[in-house]
Amino acid sequence: MKKVAFYGKAGIGKSTTSTNVSAAVSLLGEKVAQVGCDPKHDSVANLMGGKLVPTIMDQVNKHHNRVTEEVINEVIYQGYNGILCAEAGGPRPGNGCAGKGVLLALQYIHKFQVLEKRNITFVCNCSATLCQLEK
Ligand SMILES: Nc1ncnc2c1ncn2[C@@H]1O[C@H](COP(=O)(O)OP(=O)(O)OP(=O)(O)O)[C@@H](O)[C@H]1O
Ligand SMILES: [Mg+2]
């Protein structure tokens, strides 16, 4: 699995660039996933027909201590050309650290082998702070 991270300051074009890379690479035949890691959760919107999708942290907040594979699968979407789309999301505003929320969301992706089970070959990760898909 190849992994690419797009990171940098606000508004620099991370979401736009990663969306276009994901689309182009999927058209070359890779099985692509894009994981947005900004609390603003709009990174995959253009792969999802312009919609903001519910996030992994929304699910974690909703289901508290019972975060199962099924709960996480509810916020794993199929977007343009079959690209797997997910948004990490963030904590409720005023309640917790955005970076920690992103890390927690990525840990669930790893724990439930979300990417491996779907035979993903190429992952675009988009974040205002550099983070890794695996610790
Ligand atoms: N190469 C480009 N040329 C011109 N405009 C661009 C380019 N890339 C992105 N933009 C525009 O810049 C704005 C910000 O882009 P984008 O949302 O991709 O940035 P971002 O780094 O993801 O921002 P954020 O940190 O808020 O998530 C958008 O209006 C987008 O259309
Ligand atoms: Mg963005």
Query: From the CB of 16, is ligand 1 less than 6 Å away?
Result: yes
Residues with CB under 5 A from ligand 2 (ion): 14-15
pLDDT in tens, 80-89: 999 999 999 9
- Cα 77 from Cα 92, distance rounded (Å): 22
Q: Whose CA is nearest to atom 31 of ligand 1?
A: 16
For residues 2 and 121, is the Cβ–Cβ distance under 8 A? yes
Domain range summary for the chain, segments of one domain joined by +? 2-127
pTM of the predicted model as reported, rounded to 2 decimal places: 0.92
Query: From the CB of 128, is ligand 1 less than 6 Å away?
Result: yes
CA angle 98, 47, 44 (to 5 degrees): 5
Calculate helix-pair angle for 98-111, 56-63, nearest 10 degrees: 90
Write out the two tokens for 121: 């070959």
pLDDT of 130 reads 58
Q: Confidence class of residue 131 from pLDDT cuts 50, 70 and 90?
A: low
Which CATH number is correct for 2-127, 3.40.50.300, 3.40.50.12160, 3.40.190.10, 3.30.70.20?
A: 3.40.50.300
Identify which ligand lies nearest to the alpha carbon of 8.
1
Q: Whose CA is nearest to atom 7 of ligand 1?
A: 13
